[in-house]
Structure 1
Amino acid sequence: MKLSLVRRHFSVLVLMAMFAGPNSAFAQKVDGTPARTILVVGDSLSAEYGLQRGQGWVALLQARLLSGKSKAVVVNASISGDTTAGGRSRLPALLAQHKPAVVVIELGGNDALRGLPLATTQDNLLAMAQAAKATGARVLLLGMQVPPNYGKAYAQQFADTFVHAAKASKSALVPFFLKGVADGPDAAKMFQADRIHPIAEAHPLLLSNVWPELSKLLR
C-alpha cells in the first residue's frame, strides 16, 4: 500500500473513532481485525458536554490508542445528567451488546449534586463493577470529590464510596478523576461558565489521570 493511502486510511480511522457512537460497528473491528472494546459509562464529564465533538477525554483516549497501534476501541455510552442508578440500569444491555474487555465507570457526581444517599451510590457502583466483572471484563472506577462547601465529613464519606466499591469488587481506581483540574492553582479557568464542566483544554489532563490505571488493564 502506498504511503499516501496509508495516511489516508489512518485519518479515516481517527475520524471514525472520534465520531463513533455506542452502536457503531467500528467498536467491533479495527481494519477488519476483531478488537478489544473499552466501554465508558459516564455522565456529562465524559459525554463532551459543552464541547465540540472530539475534544473530550474519551475521544482523546481513542486517538491515543490508535496512535499507539492498539487494537482496542472505545464505546462511549455516557449520558449527561446520569446517576449511578441510571448507569446501573443501563449497564446489562451495554455489556450484552458490546462484550467489553474493560469497563470504565465515571458516575457519582450527579448523585452528590442531587443529595442522594451515599450508601445507595456505593451500592450502585459496586453492583455495576460486579456485573461487569461477571462477564469477564476488567473494571476501572473513576473517583470523584465534592467542593469544600459540602462539609469536610461529607466530602470524606463521598470520596470513600469509590474506595470501598473498588476494594469490595477488586476493581482498579482513579481516586480523583478531576485531579489537577478542580484542585489546581487556576481551577476557575479550567471550567466552563457553569463552573461544573471542564473546558476542552482540561480534558488532556483528565486523560492523563485515567491512563496510568487503564493502561495496566489493557496489558
Structure 2
Amino acid sequence: MLKTLPMKFRHFPLAALLALSLTACNSSPTAEQVPGAATAAAPAATPATAAKRLLFFGNSLTAGYGVEPEQAFPALVGDKIDSLKLGYEVVNAGLSGETTAGGRSRVGWILRQPVDVFVLELGGNDGLRGLPLSATRANLQGIIDTVRRRSPGAQIVLAGMQIPPNLGQAYATDFKALYQEIATKNKLVLIPFLLEGVGGDRALNQPDGIHPTPTGHRIVARTVWAVLQPLLK
C-alpha cells in the first residue's frame, strides 16, 4: 500500500494519466514500461487555501518509477517548500513512458486549473528511441505555448536532458543542445541537466540504469531546488 503523501503534495493517479495518454501514443512502446491501470479518475480540486500551484510535468523520472511516491524528487521538493511555508501546492503530473508527443496531447487537460510554476521534464524517451529532434522540438514548443495560453503568468522551468551516444555522437550532441535552444528562444529558466551527478552512476540508479534510486532522487531534488528556490520567494 502506498504511504500517505504530505498535505500539500498531490500525485495524479496513474490510471488517470494513463487514460489521457492512450490517445496520444499510437506508436511502438517507449523505453519505459507503464504498469496496467483500470479506471481513470480526475484529479481532486485544488484546495481553496492553496495560494499557488507548482506543477511537475514529465515522464517516469518525475513520476518516481521504481520508488515510493514520497521518495521521488517532486515530493522531496514539496517537503522543502512545506518546511519553509512558501504557500505552494505541489502537483506531480508525471507519467511513466511519456514522450513529448504524449505530453503535448494531455497538457491541456492537466492545465484545466491555472499554475504559477510549471516544470517541464520531457524528451528523454524521445531521445532513447531516436525520434527526430524536429518532432521533439515542435512538441516541447507546443507544450510551452499551451502553458502560456492557459496560465499566462506562469513561470516555466525546462529540465534539460542528455542521452548516451548509442545513436551516434552527433544525435546526442544535438539532443543536449535542443534544451538550451528552446530555453533561450522562449526565455525559460533552464535546469541544464536534470540528472547531474546521478546519470551514469550505477550506485545511484536502479538496475535498468535509467531511473534513480531514492538516494539518486535526493540528489536530483537538490539540483531542482537550486533552480526553483529563487522563483518561489
Q: Aligned letter for 2:44? A: S
2:38 counterpart of 1:24: no
Structure 1 residue 120, shift from structure 2 partner: 0.8
| 3-state DSSP of counterpart to 1:104 | strand
SS in 2 for 1:198: coil
Q: 1:17 & 1:28 partners in 2: Cα distance? A: 9
- The alignment-based identity, stated in percent, is 41
Match of 2:122 in 1: 107
- TM superposition shift of 1:205: 0.9
Kept after mapping to 2: 8 A contact 1:132/1:138? no
Match of 1:171 in 2: 188
- Give the superposition deviation at 1:166: 1.1
Is structure 2 residue 231 aligned with structure 1 residue 214? no
Determine which of 35, 47, 66 is the counterpart of 1:50. 66
Match of 2:105 among 84, 89, 97: 89
C-alpha distance in structure 2 between counterparts of 1:18 and 1:37, whole Å: 10
Further displaced range: 15-24 or 43-52:
15-24
Q: Does 1:72 pair with 2:92?
A: no
- Structure 2 runs not aligned, ≥5 long: 14-42
Indicate if the aligned counterparts of 1:143 and 1:173 stay in contact, CA closer than 8 A.
yes
Alignment of 1:122-141 (within 5 A): 122-134=137-149, 135-136=151-152, 137-141=154-158
CA contact (8 A) 1:45 1:197 kept: yes
How far did residue 112 of structure 1 move?
1.0
Q: Contact 1:129 / 1:171 at 8 angstroms: preserved in 2?
A: no
Partner of 1:191: 205
Q: Which residue of 2 aligns with 1:161?
A: 178
Distance 1:34 1:65, change over 3 A: same
* Larger displacement relative to structure 2 (128-137 or 169-178): 128-137
Q: Equivalents in 2 of 1:152, 1:116: separation in Å?
A: 15
Count of paired positions: 199
Which has a greater percent of helix?
Answer: 1
Q: Are the aligned partners of 2:9 and 2:78 in contact in 1 as well (CA < 8 Å)?
A: yes
Q: What one-letter code is carried by the residue in structure 2 that aligns with 1:43?
A: N
- Does structure 1 residue 59 correspond to structure 2 residue 78? no
| Secondary structure, aligned partner of 1:16 | coil
Query: For the Cα contact (< 8 Å) 2:50–2:89, is it kept in 1?
Result: no
| 1:160-214 residue CA offsets vs partner (Å, 9 max, x unmatched) | 111111111111111110001115xxx1111101111110111111111111222
Taking the aligned partners of 1:150 and 1:34, their CA distance within structure 2 comes to: 45
Higher radius of gyration, 1 or 2: 1
CA distance in 2 between counterparts of 1:151 and 1:204 reads: 31
> TM-score, normalised to structure 1's length?
0.84
Give the Cα–Cα distance (whole angstroms) in 1 for the partners of residues 47 and 64 of structure 2: 22
2:10, 2:89 → 1: CA distance?
12
What SS class does the counterpart of residue 179 from structure 1 fall into? Answer: coil
Amino acid at match of 1:84: T
- Picking from 140, 144, 148, the partner of 2:161 is 144
Structure 1: state its 5+ residue gaps: 1-12
Structure 2 CA distance for partners of 1:182 and 1:102, relative to 1, 3 Å: same
2:195 alignment partner, SS class: coil
Q: Residues 41-75 of structure 1, C-alpha deviation per residue, up to 9 Å, x if partnerless?
A: 10000111111221000111111110001101111
Classify the secondary structure of the residue corresponding to 1:105. Answer: strand
Deviations 1:128-169 (A, max 9, x none): 112212322110010100113333211110011111111111
Work out the CA distance in 2 between the residues paired with 1:177 and 1:19.
21
